Amino acid sequence: MVVFFACKEEAKKEPIVEKKIAKPKPVLLYGYDIADYHVTHDTIKNGESFGVILDRHHVLYPKINKIAATIKDTFDVRRIGAGKPYVVLSSKDSLKQAKVFIYKHNKVAATVIDFKDSTITAYNHRKKIKVLEKTIAGEIKTNLSFTMDSLGLRPGLTNRVADIYAWTLDFYRLQKGDKFKLIYEEKFINDTVFVGYGEVKAAIFKHKGEDLYAYQFVADTVKNVAEFYDEKGNMLRSTFLRSPIKFQYRISSRYNLRRRIKLYGNRIRPHKGTDFAAPYGTPIMTTASGTVVESARRGGNGNYVKVKHNSTYTTQYLHMKRRNVRVGDYVKQGAIIGWVGMTGNTSGPHVCYRFWKYGRQVDPFREKLPSAKPLNDSIKPRYFKYIAPLKKQLEGIKYPELAIDTLLLKKKTDSLPKGHEIIENF
């Protein structure tokens, strides 16, 4: 007898695959894995020193002194300033003793001081910056500052535009309807954190119907200094600024040899200066580079500064709240030499700007002042080739359109007979 046994086929065993759990990427702070440290973010308080901060993080003073002496050529620990942020990386044990100190100069630059081992090091660290090119167009409603602010632009760019056109535009005399276009750069960290403006590559300001171009260009490739030139290659920078005040001023009194002055009994007293009224404390700039020959407080002049520019020209600035320079100082054009005040004979805050030519006081607004040299003929072909795409780009930027209600009102007004006007309540 033959007996057959039925055998179940063994179930196939699936191979066991071990799932690998990916390790999380380390989070780095100035090159350090923060998982290895206890991290403290703080801000330097008034009266705090480098030593006080490290002492609070359990570093003994002999080592603090050694750190300061070792890194003095890279970083002077005495110069840390109140209000500046810093980071301390400490050991993760119960003592939490500081191992690394990071001093943030600004959003981009920091000094890293590493003393976790016997070797003490210090180095400067800069975050990577991404530079983006931007364009903008605006129309003046009241003044440049208000218009730029309404476009979401920060004062840094407003000041830059004012510097570019400081020699060719009187910002006090801007008219409603004047327009401008800019090609400029913005700088970011991690594509999101704004850290300031870069270069203004090109600009155009339409003032009183005239197009005032400005192109940044490096003519001298050895010195590598950029200047702004117009579409013909003439340098925008002149020998003298038009005003010793950048913003927020008005000319309250001009050069007038027949002016009657209330302070002197309404008698005719020659006024050999130009008065720029501005808020108390407004910075006063020297209109050209030169050497300070007088810095004093005297009589009706109050606090004043006098700057000799060359053998031909000298300027003086009166009634300052406070002076910022001494006799013998060399000051560059645009340097702050004092602040608007009311010292001496004055009925309100202003700076009296006086201008000498060959030792005689003259009206600077009636003088044909020297301009900076234009581009050399040999450089102009390179310049015109360089600005051609920028000019085309400027032309492609559209000015903001008028609001609908403004257009409708203009249309109604244009349809009226000459001499009539529409009065509407808004």
CATH number of the structural domain spanning residue 228: 3.10.450.350
Query: Is 0.85 topped by the overall pTM?
Result: no
CATH of the domain at 256: 2.70.70.10
What are the tens digits of pLDDT across the range 105-157?
Answer: 999 999 999 999 989 999 999 999 999 999 999 999 888 999 999 999 999 99
User: Residue 199 — pLDDT band, cuts 50, 70, 90?
Assistant: very high
Q: How many domains does the chain have?
A: 3
Specify whether 267 is located in the same domain as 345: yes
Reported as a pLDDT band with limits 50, 70 and 90, residue 410 is very low
Residue 290 lies in a domain: yes
- 357-400 pLDDT tens trace: 989 999 988 887 777 778 999 999 999 999 999 999 999 999 98
CB-count burial class (<10 Å; 0-12, 13-18, 19+) for 11: exposed
Of the candidates 175, 213, 183, the one whose C-alpha atom is nearest the C-alpha of residue 200 is: 183
Q: Quick check: is 297 in a domain?
A: yes
For residue 352, the enclosing domain spans 250-366
Dump pLDDT digits (tens) for 61-104. 999 999 999 999 999 999 999 999 999 999 999 999 999 999 99
- Final residue belonging to a domain, choices 75, 101, 126: 126
**Same domain membership, residue 257 and residue 361:** yes
Residues 189 and 113 in one domain: no
Per-residue pLDDT at 417 exceeds 80: no
Tens of pLDDT, residue by residue over 310-366, are: 888 999 999 999 999 999 998 888 899 999 999 998 889 999 999 999 899 999 888
Q: Answer yes or no: is 3 within a domain.
A: no
pLDDT confidence of residue 423? 34
